[in-house]
Structure 1
Amino acid sequence: MASLAASPPASFLTGHRTWLFAATSFPLQALIIAVAVYLPQHFAKGLGLELAAVGATFALVRLIDIPFDPLLGAAMDRTRSRFGRYRVWMLLGAPVLMAAIYKLFMAKAGIGTTYITIWLLIMYLGASMLTLAHSAWAATLAPTYDARSRIFGVMGAAGVAGMTLLLATPVIAPRLGVTSDAAGVQGMGWFILIAIPLAVLATIARTPEHVAPRTSRPQPGRHCLRDQIALLVHPSMGRVVLATFLFSLGTSWEGTLFIFYFTDVRGFTAAEASTLLMVALAAGFAGAPALGRLATRISKHGALMAASALYAACLASLWVIPHDAVALTCLPFITTGFLYAGFHVLLRAMTADVADEILLEQGQERGGALYALITLAPKVAAALAVWATFTVLAAVGYEPSAGAANTSHALEGVRAGYVLGPILFVAAGGLCMIGYRLTRERTAEIRTLLHN
């Protein structure tokens, strides 16, 4: 049976130190929204690449990228150094990510899919190093069921702040004399590039590291594909990974179609659409910690099911809201923004509970491997979303280039895809939590056993 050394004091989870630790979520989430919403469109519209080719490239990169996260997670679980475990990986990941962001966001016309493939792979490698280390580190800092909801809630709020400020760039750019979409995308790249080193330094400067000691010998070949599959089919972890995949697929699907839907179907200008997205994500700054607090009252999986049901209902309302009812159109979208960050907050907090369960069962800390699975699921989902939505758009005859005259059939296809796809996947994610057994009471029991 495993016995835990003293965890960081509970006081660490209050005040400014928690926000400093959460700072790394700021540029990482800003990058996610930039890549999901703006970068594929920029490659197609701004740099002249074929729409289907862009979608296929993003999907291919995600497939190639699949082994990275499990290997990184396994390496993190085995890392021991005088500088700490996660601190080292964050320092390594930051420059890798920054180099790739520069090459992608500052790309010039004439690049091909090979160029995009190489630099996307490097970008996802650097992002994985930071994301895995940050999430696994957070799990060791929060020793209780409710504390995990709080710390991941703060991380979610920091991430929402990053996404919101990034989305301000296309709104502010015209006032600074920047009128091209390509320059706006470059501005997003510089925003993220500047934020990464500042955020990482804020995280590592004053945060303690705690690693549970090994209480059993590593089994031969432990960090192999078979072991990853065993974690994936673990009763608690399997549900969390599947829910993460489905929620990510639904929200990525919606994000990929967002600009097309609101500009061509609803008649918003690009600036108005970006402003709406910024406001919706700003609502998530309150939504992430709010769902974390709800989880302390009813349970994490209960809060997740409630959020998924409301999210689906809001999207369904867009189907019946008239096109000229601008305020009514904005209201459900802002509500989904309030809920969006909460999905990942709750699922990452639930993964920390699973890490305790597996520590009790196996006698070894597997946080890196578990968060690798949680990080991998959204990557695969995002790639599938880009490929699937771009394929659907091509199938209905939608033309994304500026000034193109789309038929009513093509626009109806965009509308149906934007509303129905996310409803299906987000609702399915909520259904995954029916019968989830790792409750507050069970988690407290596991913690007691670990301390004995």
Structure 2
Amino acid sequence: MTQAASSPAKRVPFLTALAFAATALPVAAVGIAMAVYLPRHYASHLGIDLAVVGAAFFIVRMIDIPVDGLLGWSMDKTRTPWGRYRLWTILGAPILMLGVYFLFLPPAGVGRNYLIFWVLILYLGNSILALSHAAWAATLAPQYNDRSRVFAIMTAVGVLGAASVLAIPIVNEARGVSDAGNVAMMGWLIIALAPITAAIVVWKTPEKIAPEAPGDEFRLRDYGALITRPAFARILLADLCLSLGPGWMSATYLFFFTDSRGFTTGQASILLATYFLAGIVGAPLMGRLAMRISKHRTVMVATTLYSLTLVSLIAVPKGNLMVAIIPLFIAGVMASGFNLLTRAMTADIADEIRLEHGKERSGLLYAITTMTSKIAGAFSIGLTFFVLSKVGYDAAEGARNTAQAIHNLELVFLVGPVVFVMLGGACMIGYGLDAIRHADIRRQLDARDALYDEAPIVESLTGEAAIASLPPRE
């Protein structure tokens, strides 16, 4: 199979985008399992103190954050006949599988150190897959609107990965099986998904390595210049808030819906599946809306409607599954646009930086963006579990909480997500890198790249790549 250099208006074929999105399946499955089920499993079924579990996840996130920067920098420096991000996808899958095996199928009597070590290994593998996937997407779809479309497809496919995890407790409850075995089944599912999906992406997706200018090597102090870049700083702050809000909700979700709203674990999982499955509708909807009103305005619309819908959950009658499905579906539609849009906007920033400096920085930019998500992940579990332990809520299996403790749980569940999500939307007020500005950037990049049409396009595992470079800038 041979592919010519892309014209400015060329869209990524749907089947190519769908095959490329396969990596989102295990990444999303890990995300939902780690955010909702695994902390509760270690606290309730394995008997580790709630605050200790929260602290363990926080510690790992803090260790893991600088690793992402090194990974992103390394990815951008990688230039092989197999491609740049393709190689990292191959490396990430087995590391993720190793971490999942030991974390989701732990031996009896595990403690904090065991939890910290294997969460760290799992996050390393997951980071490699997620970073290489996002950075590869930025080069696969170079156009402003097509990026919204490709990232929407990735998000929709990721929803299926999350839904596959959510289906496990639902099926087990219907079979009368204890939910103590849910996490082990989730682990085996992810272990099966990781190599299959990585193989599909690696085998079926072309990869173009953009030409680069010699010199202008990235230095440590350049991190500061990237982070303080006005457009990127807005994205980072927005991404932090838009990860912290839903992450906060996820960390307290099962506690809220079982102890406050009177649902069983299986029913709560049905509602959560509704929330995530709504992304199959929401992701394309958010992508299409972004094509019409721009990405940053779509973020503001989504965050406002999400917050209003979340507040309405407190009015849901206890145990009424059919009523609860409605606000969970609407919230899921809106939430599906959060990461989709900020990741697509990060790709636009990468184009702007490549135009200025002649170097690919997608991997590094996504690493920095992922750092904000990991900071949010650390606090969403560590902080919320700490707060719950301080407001009198007891998470132990079979514990009887007072009415005041349940009321405090409700406040913790609602206030944190609404505040942070609305802050995330506010970050987009006055954002300047819109479709018009990006079209001008792509016009200049395409004109420059056209002078060096030997930039490699790796079509398959056996494709050859001639590494091209630009002459030094004057």
Question: Per the shorter chain, which TM-score range?
Answer: over 0.9
Specify the alignment match of 1:93 in structure 2: 92
Determine if contact 1:8/1:208 at 8 Å carries over to the other structure. Answer: no
4+ residue runs over 6 A deviation: 8-12
Q: TM-score, normalised by structure 1?
A: 0.95
Q: Aligned in 2, Cα 1:398/1:79: closer, same or farther, shift over 3 Å?
A: same
- How far apart, CA to CA, are the structure 1 residues paired with 2:96 and 2:197? 13
Determine if contact 1:8/1:141 at 8 Å carries over to the other structure. Answer: no
Specify the alignment match of 2:337 in structure 1: 342
Determine if contact 1:250/1:426 at 8 Å carries over to the other structure. Answer: yes
Determine if contact 1:36/1:255 at 8 Å carries over to the other structure. Answer: yes
Determine if contact 1:7/1:141 at 8 Å carries over to the other structure. Answer: no
Sequence identity of aligned pairs in percent? 47
- How far apart, CA to CA, are the structure 1 residues paired with 2:227 and 2:277? 33
Pairing of 1:367-382 with structure 2 (within 5 A): 367-382=362-377
Post-superposition shift, 1:176? 4.7
- How far apart, CA to CA, are the structure 2 residues paired with 1:158 and 1:8? 27
Counterpart selection for 1:239 from 234, 237, 255:
234
Post-superposition shift, 1:181? 2.2
Q: Aligned in 2, Cα 1:404/1:293: closer, same or farther, shift over 3 Å?
A: same
For residues 160-196 of structure 1, the C-alpha deviation after alignment (integer angstroms, 9 at most, x for no partner) is 111012100111124456x222311100111111011
In structure 2, give the amino acid aligned to 1:16: L
- How far apart, CA to CA, are the structure 2 residues paired with 1:323 and 1:166? 25
For residues 88-131 of structure 1, the C-alpha deviation after alignment (integer angstroms, 9 at most, x for no partner) is 11111110110000000001231111111111111111111111
Alignment partner of 1:205 is 2:200: no
Structure 1: give runs of 5+ residues left out of the alignment.
Answer: none
Post-superposition shift, 1:392? 1.1
- How far apart, CA to CA, are the structure 1 residues paired with 2:272 and 2:7? 37
Q: Secondary structure at the match of 1:23?
A: helix
- How far apart, CA to CA, are the structure 1 residues paired with 2:75 and 2:360? 10
In structure 2, give the amino acid aligned to 1:427: M
Pairing of 1:128-167 with structure 2 (within 5 A): 128-167=127-166
Alignment partner of 1:431 is 2:429: no
Determine if contact 1:56/1:387 at 8 Å carries over to the other structure. Answer: yes
Q: Aligned in 2, Cα 1:81/1:319: closer, same or farther, shift over 3 Å?
A: same
Structure 2: give runs of 5+ residues left out of the alignment.
Answer: 448-474
Pairing of 1:196-275 with structure 2 (within 5 A): 196-219=194-217, 222-224=218-220, 226-275=221-270
- How far apart, CA to CA, are the structure 1 residues paired with 2:33 and 2:281? 21
Specify the alignment match of 1:14 in structure 2: 13
Counterpart selection for 2:190 from 189, 192, 196:
192
Specify the alignment match of 1:180 in structure 2: 178
Q: TM-score, normalised by structure 2?
A: 0.91
- How far apart, CA to CA, are the structure 1 residues paired with 2:244 and 2:351? 27
In structure 2, give the amino acid aligned to 1:190: W
Q: Aligned in 2, Cα 1:378/1:103: closer, same or farther, shift over 3 Å?
A: same
Specify the alignment match of 2:465 in structure 1: none
In structure 2, give the amino acid aligned to 1:37: V
Alignment partner of 1:415 is 2:410: yes
RMSD of aligned Cα (Å): 1.5
For residues 391-419 of structure 1, the C-alpha deviation after alignment (integer angstroms, 9 at most, x for no partner) is 11111111112221100111001101111
- How far apart, CA to CA, are the structure 2 residues paired with 1:100 and 1:327? 37
For residues 205-257 of structure 1, the C-alpha deviation after alignment (integer angstroms, 9 at most, x for no partner) is 121111111124133xx242x22222111111111111111000000000010
In structure 1, give the amino acid aligned to 2:241: L
For residues 63-84 of structure 1, the C-alpha deviation after alignment (integer angstroms, 9 at most, x for no partner) is 1111111100000111011111
- How far apart, CA to CA, are the structure 2 residues paired with 1:318 and 1:138? 35
Q: Aligned in 2, Cα 1:176/1:9: closer, same or farther, shift over 3 Å?
A: farther
Q: Aligned in 2, Cα 1:322/1:450: closer, same or farther, shift over 3 Å?
A: same
- How far apart, CA to CA, are the structure 2 residues paired with 1:286 and 1:324? 26
Determine if contact 2:173/2:179 at 8 Å carries over to the other structure. Answer: no
Alignment partner of 1:54 is 2:53: yes
Post-superposition shift, 1:320? 4.0
- How far apart, CA to CA, are the structure 2 residues paired with 1:75 and 1:258? 37
Q: Secondary structure at the match of 1:319?
A: helix
